[in-house]
Structure 1
Amino acid sequence: MRLKRIRQVAACICFVLVTLLFLDFTGVVQGWFGWLAKIQFIPALLALNLGVVVALVLLTCVFGRVYCSVICPLGVFQDVVSRMGGKYKKNRFRYSPALSWLRYGVLALFVAVCGAGLWAGATGLMGWAGLLEPYSAYGRMASNLLAPFYRWGNNLLAYMAERMDSYAFYEAEVWMKGLSVLGVALLTFVVLSVLAWRNGRTYCNTICPVGTLLGFLSRYAWLKPVIDTSKCVNCNLCERNCKASCIHIKEHKIDYSRCVACMNCIDKCPKKAIHYVRPSAVAQVAPEKGGPDNGRRSFLAVASWFAAGSWIRAQEKKVDGGLAVIEEKKIPERKVHLKPAGAQGVHNFASHCTACQLCVSACPNDVLRPSSSIETWMQPEMSYERGYCRPECVRCTEVCPNGAIRSLTVAEKSSVQIGHAVFVYENCVVNTDGVECGNCARHCPSGAIQMVPSVSGIPDSPRLPVVNEERCIGCGSCENLCPARPFSAIYVEGHETHRFI
């Protein structure tokens, strides 16, 4: 009971905090607990965080698959659903043989796809591999299915607070960032919920590549649940409550490659015949003492809740002064998709990003959104219809756990050129409406745009923007603040490889 409670408390803390990483739009949670995303196995592996990878491997070799039952948010999500299903039907599980051909087949496919994306230069394959990666799968569910409700709740609090002359909360915009990603998130939620409700950890033990890899290591774990045959009366309670379906009580065997160390079997055994110890310890002392005392596990856990206000801009107005409807901006056709500063370029980003959507959730300027292109499906890209990439903002570089967006200082971010502005004369209000503007030049943070007379030799003629491509960093302030509709008269074209200017 004690071991199970420790696991449950640690799992709940990790699960709640990881979920809040995808819901919080103020940056408070990311600042304090962003490291929880960076200790997920596949993100750490892609980011070459060898210290984290080695620590997780050692954790598994000592304690078994506690990563799957404590740290992995998708694993804990399945436990929550399975627990809810258990309230309607008790003792519903039974032993089932391992589908090794399927487990290792999926793992081999996952490794092949990741290898092609990383080393063979196959664009966008890492996004497809992210369909199977547990952390990314949960991230898409949290950011697409839970985040809207979280923001609606915040907006309700902001509305109520405003009526009481309090401005502790501000409204946050709620908008659908990608229909295809929403569909994938919804399908993932339904499939995993049905599997977990009916069969517990089916996904973890048949499909999940991380579960298969750690399962291979957990066979040799130092501490394991071990059945003391001298005490066991074959009541079947351990087998019927094993959500991993890995206890074969007739043979008194446990498949440790599928055991997630949930401790349900220890909790349910009425004879205390199952102990979490070294297997050799039970063999040596069981005849005399009936098994040693339960061993203790060390879990990575944090304990605190956060209290933060929401300080972002008010919800975008849809009308101008309540009189004229503002036409929505449309995304221009870019030859090269824009990637965040820190991505180093299109190839590095595509070969590391598993489309977890954490940077999309964290972006305070609504610049990032999932791609609908087949080549880079679900991987974030930048567009400036709702905001622009402020040079002083480095939020996405701080939260990315995969190494797809490298960490940058504010000074470095302001010097990275991710693209350059392109002027389209036909769309400019100087041409269409015959009025002066200059918004793009006024708001350019790098001073890359200058206004010059449209007619050479006539200083009083309407002025048009000229872009200095060597100074432009591609932040998109000109594109976002251009009054032309539906297409801006100036837009940013992406660069295949980023460079410092």
Structure 2
Amino acid sequence: MNQAWLKKIRVVVSLVFLALTTLLFVDFDRIGETPTATAALYPQFVPSLLKFSQTIAWGAAGFLAVLALTLLFGRVYCSTICPLGTLQDIVIRVADWLRKPRKVKFRYQRSHDVLRYGVLALAVGLFLSGSTLALSLLDPFSNFGRIAGDLIRPFYVVVHNGFEQLLESFGVYGPFPLHWKAPPLAALIFPALFLLGLIGLSAARGRLFCNTLCPVGALLGLVSRFALFKIRIPQDACVLCAQCSIHCKAGCIRLKTKEVDFSRCVACFNCMTVCETHGIGYAWSGPVPLRRSSPVALPPRPSNSPDTVHRAALSRDGKARRALLRAGATALVGLASLPRSSNVEAKPSNRVPTRLANAKTWPVAPPGARDIVRFNDLCTACHLCVSACPYGVLQPSLLDYGWSGLLQPRLDFATGYCSYECNRCGQVCPTGAILPLALVAKQTVQLGVAHFVHDNCIVYTDHTACGACDEYCPTKAVHMIPYRDGLSIPEVRPALCVGCGACENACPARPYRAIYVDGHPVHQQALRPSAKPLEHQPDSGFPF
């Protein structure tokens, strides 16, 4: 049964999903809210499952399609749809190239059932108790999103803008430049360490992460035990050349018994392409046939035994792995040294430094989150909303929400503000943690309330006019009132404030701002500002 063509299809489909998902995180404006983006997000298992639990809508039932596919052919999701799986395959391919002189790549690995099912039980238990922490840290889609959005995106922006400037130097005006506002450096530590660990693990042990730490892989492994079609090794077709076991990324082919642990098989189809007798392939999950209907001449058995081949796998080349780790560390250092021109705060305008710290009690959750507890229970910190935010106000948090909300996005008014005319984050959230809001509805959602600190205001400290907060407030919740000596000072009308942070972002007082937004644990409703009637103008005889 020559089914080597399955690998070609698998490679093409996996690269398409990888390209679309990567572009979604690094250049959202290009792919963004398009049917292509929907197709890339729909079958992602954990986001689809969480969104379906909230909406019970078939438009969010991609995980059911994945389960059906797994019941038919095994863990095809892991080899074609999951972008983190394809990233591991690329690392494995590069590592194979670096150790090309060696013939031995992988070997049969013992099944770590206690670990992988323990991780699955922990993730399910925490989720049922109201925490997505385990899913946030181990979900393959969310981890790939953080790698692409937080680590790859700055390099993509540099290359994109450099190409745009090159075209402009020749008088050709190409794509608009992209902007990237760097998150806190501490928020980059986890995705950077995860990437380095994934590179080292993949180069040395193949898809071990998928079969030990990935909760999606563990769940699909359970389902694949009951698959209707499984990869089988016909007993009379095998000549013990060991090629299938050597090339198995999951280490699930036990050559002594000629069996495939299908719960750990990630459907890479490498075994089908390297089998010299073309005996390996999908077969009905009944008993393995003892004889083939069309026997072929078999090549002579190699002199080296499988045990010798497997023992040779123990002597791996550490130089290749160290080179990969050094390359990853160099990339991390390069990321830290990138200029943060779009995230540099303006120089303070106050001559007298402010003294009163901003007493914030709650972080500001994105519009559509409804309340912080619900948001923490559904968000897996994939950072797609961070990539999609055109104003850069959404940034990864550390412990602002506590441990359960590690790396989940919050509104950071030091880097930007939530535009009154934007509702993009709710339109793109794949888990339903940020609900989609019509623009009219979003404009009255009160994320928090602005608080004015009189003793920090430039009008008070420097005795000079300002009014930046009043100028930027879209609802005029902040307005100027007479102060003294012909100056005006801000006043906040809480009922009109939507907590967008435009006032805080514009305030020039440093180190502590004179106005700041304190978030609501449960979002409130603000009053819509009333438009002033136009003053009657006498008829001048002109039609305009």
Shorter-chain TM-score category? 0.7 to 0.9
Amino acid at match of 1:66: V
- Separation (CA, whole Å) in 2 of partners of 1:11 and 1:426: 58
2:184 corresponds, among 165, 171, 178, to 178
Q: Does 1:355 align with 2:381?
A: yes
- Separation (CA, whole Å) in 1 of partners of 2:369 and 2:208: 36
1:479 corresponds, among 498, 504, 512, to 504
Q: How many residues align?
A: 463
Could you say which residue in structure 2 is the equivalent of 1:61?
71
- Residue 226 of structure 1 deviates from its aligned partner by 1.5
Whether the aligned pair in 2 keeps the contact of 1:34 and 1:399 (CA below 8 Å) is no
Could you say which residue in structure 1 is the equivalent of 2:520?
495
Q: Does 1:437 align with 2:466?
A: yes
Q: 1:112 and 1:190, CA in 2 relative to 1: closer, same or farther beyond 3 A?
A: same
Query: Alignment partner of 2:49: what SS?
Result: helix
Whether the aligned pair in 1 keeps the contact of 2:43 and 2:65 (CA below 8 Å) is no
Q: Which has the higher contact order (CA 8 A, sep 6+)?
A: 1
Q: Return 371-380 or 187-196, whichever deviates more.
A: 371-380
Q: Does 1:44 align with 2:70?
A: no
Whether the aligned pair in 2 keeps the contact of 1:161 and 1:169 (CA below 8 Å) is no
Whether the aligned pair in 2 keeps the contact of 1:427 and 1:489 (CA below 8 Å) is yes
- Separation (CA, whole Å) in 2 of partners of 1:67 and 1:160: 40
Query: Alignment partner of 1:421: what SS?
Result: strand
- Separation (CA, whole Å) in 2 of partners of 1:247 and 1:141: 31
- Measured against aligned partners, the alpha-carbon deviations of 1:91-146 in whole angstroms (never above 9, x if no partner) come to 42121221111111111122222222x2xxxxxx4245411111111222112221
Q: 1:162 and 1:484, CA in 2 relative to 1: closer, same or farther beyond 3 A?
A: farther
Q: 1:153 and 1:324, CA in 2 relative to 1: closer, same or farther beyond 3 A?
A: farther
Q: Which runs of 5+ in 1 are unaligned?
A: 119-124, 292-313
Query: Alignment partner of 1:470: what SS?
Result: helix
TM-score (norm 1): 0.86
Larger radius of gyration: 2
- Separation (CA, whole Å) in 1 of partners of 2:29 and 2:178: 10
1:400 corresponds, among 429, 437, 441, to 429
- Separation (CA, whole Å) in 2 of partners of 1:387 and 1:318: 10
- Residue 367 of structure 1 deviates from its aligned partner by 0.4
Amino acid at match of 2:108: Y
Q: Return 400-409 or 170-179, whichever deviates more.
A: 170-179
- Residue 193 of structure 1 deviates from its aligned partner by 0.8
- Measured against aligned partners, the alpha-carbon deviations of 1:224-267 in whole angstroms (never above 9, x if no partner) come to 21212222222211111111111112212111100111111111
Query: Alignment partner of 1:450: what SS?
Result: strand
- Measured against aligned partners, the alpha-carbon deviations of 1:339-396 in whole angstroms (never above 9, x if no partner) come to 1101111111111111122211221111011112143321111111222100221221
2:361 corresponds, among 335, 358, 363, to 335
Could you say which residue in structure 1 is the equivalent of 2:417?
388
Q: Which runs of 5+ in 2 are unaligned?
A: 54-59, 297-340, 527-544
Could you say which residue in structure 1 is the equivalent of 2:302?
none
Whether the aligned pair in 2 keeps the contact of 1:476 and 1:491 (CA below 8 Å) is yes
Q: Return 15-24 or 368-377, whichever deviates more.
A: 368-377
Query: Alignment partner of 1:497: what SS?
Result: strand
- Measured against aligned partners, the alpha-carbon deviations of 1:250-296 in whole angstroms (never above 9, x if no partner) come to 21211110011111111111111112232339639x543469xxxxx
Could you say which residue in structure 2 is the equivalent of 1:451?
480
Could you say which residue in structure 2 is the equivalent of 1:121?
none
TM-score (norm 2): 0.79
Q: Return 58-67 or 171-180, whichever deviates more.
A: 171-180
Query: Alignment partner of 1:288: what SS?
Result: coil
Could you say which residue in structure 2 is the equivalent of 1:288?
293
Query: Alignment partner of 2:455: what SS?
Result: helix
Could you say which residue in structure 2 is the equivalent of 1:372?
398
- Separation (CA, whole Å) in 2 of partners of 1:197 and 1:347: 39
Whether the aligned pair in 2 keeps the contact of 1:171 and 1:315 (CA below 8 Å) is no
- Separation (CA, whole Å) in 1 of partners of 2:48 and 2:456: 45
Could you say which residue in structure 1 is the equivalent of 2:204?
198
Could you say which residue in structure 1 is the equivalent of 2:240?
234
Percent identity over the alignment is: 40
User: Any runs of at least 4 consecutive aligned residues in structure 1 with deviations exceeding 6 A, and if so which?
Assistant: 316-320
- Separation (CA, whole Å) in 2 of partners of 1:135 and 1:318: 32
Q: Does 1:259 align with 2:270?
A: no
Could you say which residue in structure 1 is the equivalent of 2:17?
14
Could you say which residue in structure 1 is the equivalent of 2:146?
140
Amino acid at match of 2:88: Q
Could you say which residue in structure 2 is the equivalent of 1:85?
95
- Separation (CA, whole Å) in 2 of partners of 1:405 and 1:41: 18
Whether the aligned pair in 1 keeps the contact of 2:116 and 2:215 (CA below 8 Å) is yes
- Residue 441 of structure 1 deviates from its aligned partner by 2.1
Q: Does 1:463 align with 2:476?
A: no
- Separation (CA, whole Å) in 2 of partners of 1:348 and 1:228: 52
Whether the aligned pair in 1 keeps the contact of 2:45 and 2:63 (CA below 8 Å) is yes
- Separation (CA, whole Å) in 1 of partners of 2:344 and 2:71: 55
Could you say which residue in structure 1 is the equivalent of 2:162?
156
1:413 corresponds, among 442, 451, 467, to 442
- Separation (CA, whole Å) in 2 of partners of 1:468 and 1:290: 86
